[in-house]
Amino acid sequence: MCSVVGYVGKNRSRSFVMEGLGRLEYRGYDSAGFACLNPDDHRLLYAKSEGRLDNLAKELDASPIDGFISVGHTRWSTHGISSAQNAHPHFDSQKKVAVVHNGIIENHRELRAQLEEAGHVFYSETDTEIIAHLFEVLLLSHKTFKPALIDLVNKLEGAYAFICIMQDNPDQMIIVRKRSPLCIGIGDDEMFVASDALAFAGKTNKVLYMPDESFALIKKDMLELYDFKGQPLHPPVQILDLDWDVHEKMEHDHYMLKEIYEQKGVIHATIDFLRNLGNRVWDHIGVSQDYVAKLDKINLIGCGTSWHAARIAQFYFEQICMIPTSVHLASEFRYKPFFTENNALYVAISQSGETADTLEALRLINSTEIPTIALTNVASSTMVREAGGFLLTQAGREIAVASTKAFSTQIATLYWFAHRIALAKGLISQQQMEQAESDILVAAEVLENSLENYKVAIAHTYAKKYAQYEKAIFLGRHISYPFAMEAALKLKEIAYIFAQCYPAGELKHGPLALVDDKTPIFVFSTQDPLVYQKLLSNTQEAKARNGHIVVFAFDGQEELCALADVAFIMPHVKPLLSPLAMTGVMQYLVYSIAKELGRPIDKPRNLAKSVTVE
């Protein structure tokens, strides 16, 4: 996934496009590019650079170009390495058409071969360059835009959003959307285009989300929108309350640290928001209270950290609502048989609400009768628009690529939602519902206080110690197993330390062979007495082989702590909320290890915040 930004209008546009790209850099930061039409002679001018947007900004400062129509791009590499050569925009053979693109053209090999046979020469390894060349060919044969575009979109397979500017049509921009997000901000004698409306927040609040499989011809004061058959479309223009407040890191070294510290506050905000919904919750989620009371099956679906939140929440729906619950990895979901179920519900969990794997799974489920809900942090996201209903976490914008506060607000929301369903089913009383809300706030308090307790020791001692290891084993059981998976993901993602997670009971079935003095073992405890005893035995097995043990335990778990070389001990919370209680210390430890290693914590290599390719 990448980000595309475009402008056509009354103003010179470079500063808008560069600022917009900066706001969307969370979508990829492998390279960046800008193209515009020179206001005097309409020549296509461009600049590209490898790496972060700053590099492009420096290049543009050294050799300034600007125009009243322009496009920009930040890239997350899919086809071809990260290099200036593969950076967008890409051009047709005559360098008269510039294209910036987000998505994947699945039949790019076949199209490239056909175009090469017809004499076209390609300068990059990207699938995007094919769009420019194919458009060139089709414009020649069709003469006018509309038929050429209809032909083009019917030849391109995959998921894509692209913007195209042309030297021969200096006041017109073409934009196309199939599956990948794209929206238009309608201003006063100016149009803004972007992968995410955040790019133009503060410039206009009139937003048109491009319908799936549509293209638009845009001038500064004109917008024509068509479906892929060429039929005109007139979707509603939404008035959105878009805001871009400058998200300062404040006194923190990284956004990730700021976001770790914000967790107690945003969990409170989330619970206040949910509590205030009252009975409107059913309108929000688009499912009646009667339907919820009869639920026989819940399905949770997500990727990465959101999938870990789902795995934790499986215990909530099964133990609190007594409803059998399945958790699906969105990236695998579409490729296995799908069985429709009666009295079922699907909850798609996604911080961004844009993750392509989750979105495609949601679309598949939406083609059946089963109701869907999006649980996301972004009210203007595609999932909110496409799911049958939605629940919003109130984490505020999460900027660091590694998810922290989104994860904890997801867990808090899912715990709350499980109780809300239990209330609708008559399994708990209103008083128990209120108790559950306070239990979440207590766990948020423990999250923050434990972090405060251990932060000096972590920053000064443990970060240095564990930064020296090249690999680690993570163990958990029951509800702490998915939490251990989340911890291992965080360590890999921001510290680049290989971390393998197992359910602790599996150790003796093979992984015990890995135990040595070069591989610390991080054990995450639970408060369930039976599971605790089993986890204790598993830890003993590792200790007996000279394993170096770090435990995350709860007050009174002395036997486990006695086995540990290092122990982080938290106060008791409601047992099902123990992952929330451990979240702050776990994230801070991993953050501090990554900092010790000098990693680019907010933007780890090879990653992006919003993953809009499958």
Shortest distance (Å) from residue 154 CB to ligand F6R: 30
- Measure the CA angle with vertex 422, ends 421 and 424; round to 5°: 60
Write down the residue that tokens 């008559």 correspond to.
426
Comparing CA positions, the residue from 409, 373, 405, 408 lying closest to residue 391 is 373
Shortest distance (Å) from residue 87 CB to ligand F6R: 23
Shortest distance (Å) from residue 329 CB to ligand F6R: 11
Residues 580 and 576: their CA atoms lie apart, in Å, by 9
Residues 340 and 277: their CA atoms lie apart, in Å, by 30
Burial of 430 (0-12, 13-18, 19+ CB in 10 A): exposed
What are the residues whose beta carbons fall under 8 Å from the beta carbon of 271, sequence distance 6 or more?
A: 412, 416, 437, 440, 441
The amino acid at 420: R
Q: Which of residues 480-509 bind ligand F6R (CB under 6 A)?
A: 489, 493
Cis omega (within 30 of 0) for bond into 89: yes
Q: Which of residues 329-388 bind ligand F6R (CB under 6 A)?
A: 350-352, 355, 358
Judged by beta carbon, residue 350 or residue 480, the one nearer ligand F6R is 350
| 8 Å CB contact between 265 and 395 | no
Shortest distance (Å) from residue 358 CB to ligand F6R: 5
Angle, helices 128-142/108-117, rounded to nearest 10 degrees? 50
Judged by beta carbon, residue 176 or residue 391, the one nearer ligand F6R is 391
Chain centroid to CA 117: 40
Judged by beta carbon, residue 382 or residue 538, the one nearer ligand F6R is 382
Q: Which of residues 595-614 bind ligand F6R (CB under 6 A)?
A: 611
| 8 Å CB contact between 354 and 610 | yes
Shortest distance (Å) from residue 462 CB to ligand F6R: 21
Find the helix or strand (DSSP H, E) in which 101 lies. Answer: strand 97-105
Q: Should residue 306 be labelled a site residue for ligand F6R when binding is judged by CB under 6 A?
A: yes
Query: How many other CB atoms sit within 10 Å of the CB of residue 238?
Result: 14
50 Rama sector, left if φ>0, alpha if ψ -120 to 50, beta otherwise: beta
Comparing CA positions, the residue from 528, 534, 537 lying closest to residue 577 is 528
In sequence order, the β-bridge partners of residue 521 are 473, 549
Q: Which of residues 208-267 bind ligand F6R (CB under 6 A)?
A: none
Write down the residue that tokens 């090249």 correspond to.
470
Judged by beta carbon, residue 171 or residue 360, the one nearer ligand F6R is 360
Angle, helices 578-596/263-277, rounded to nearest 10 degrees? 150
Q: Should residue 124 be labelled a site residue for ligand F6R when binding is judged by CB under 6 A?
A: no
Candidate segments 99-107, 303-311, 367-375, 538-546, binder of ligand F6R by CB under 6 A: 303-311
Catalytic residue among 203, 264, 543, 609: 609
Judged by beta carbon, residue 170 or residue 304, the one nearer ligand F6R is 304
Judged by beta carbon, residue 354 or residue 439, the one nearer ligand F6R is 354
Judged by beta carbon, residue 137 or residue 611, the one nearer ligand F6R is 611
DSSP codes, 456-524: HHIIIIIHHHHHT-SEEEEEE-TTHHHHHHHHHHHIIIII--EEEEEEGGGGGGTGGGG-STTS-EEEE
| 8 Å CB contact between 219 and 165 | no
Catalytic residue among 2, 36, 183, 561: 2
Q: Which of residues 379-438 bind ligand F6R (CB under 6 A)?
A: 402-403
DSSP letter assigned to residue 575: G
Quick one: which of 298, 303, 458, 542 contacts ligand F6R (CB under 6 A)? 303
Q: Should residue 305 be labelled a site residue for ligand F6R when binding is judged by CB under 6 A?
A: yes
Q: Which residue is nearest to ligand F6R (CB)?
A: 304
DSSP letter assigned to residue 267: H
Shortest distance (Å) from residue 242 CB to ligand F6R: 19
Shortest distance (Å) from residue 201 CB to ligand F6R: 19
Judged by beta carbon, residue 74 or residue 351, the one nearer ligand F6R is 351
User: Number of residues in contact with ligand F6R, rule: CB under 6 A?
Assistant: 14
To the query of whether residue 2 is one of the catalytic residues in this protein, the response is: yes
To the query of whether residue 609 is one of the catalytic residues in this protein, the response is: yes
Candidate segments 15-23, 200-208, 302-310, 587-595, binder of ligand F6R by CB under 6 A: 302-310
Write down the residue that tokens 């097995």 correspond to.
541
Shortest distance (Å) from residue 37 CB to ligand F6R: 35
Shortest distance (Å) from residue 507 CB to ligand F6R: 25
Residues 263 and 436: their CA atoms lie apart, in Å, by 18
DSSP letter assigned to residue 232: B
Judged by beta carbon, residue 376 or residue 538, the one nearer ligand F6R is 376
Q: Should residue 195 be labelled a site residue for ligand F6R when binding is judged by CB under 6 A?
A: no
Shortest distance (Å) from residue 207 CB to ligand F6R: 20
Judged by beta carbon, residue 398 or residue 439, the one nearer ligand F6R is 398
Residues 163 and 145: their CA atoms lie apart, in Å, by 14
Q: Which residues bind ligand F6R (CB under 6 A)?
A: 303-306, 350-352, 355, 358, 402-403, 489, 493, 611
Mind telling me the catalytic residues?
2, 609
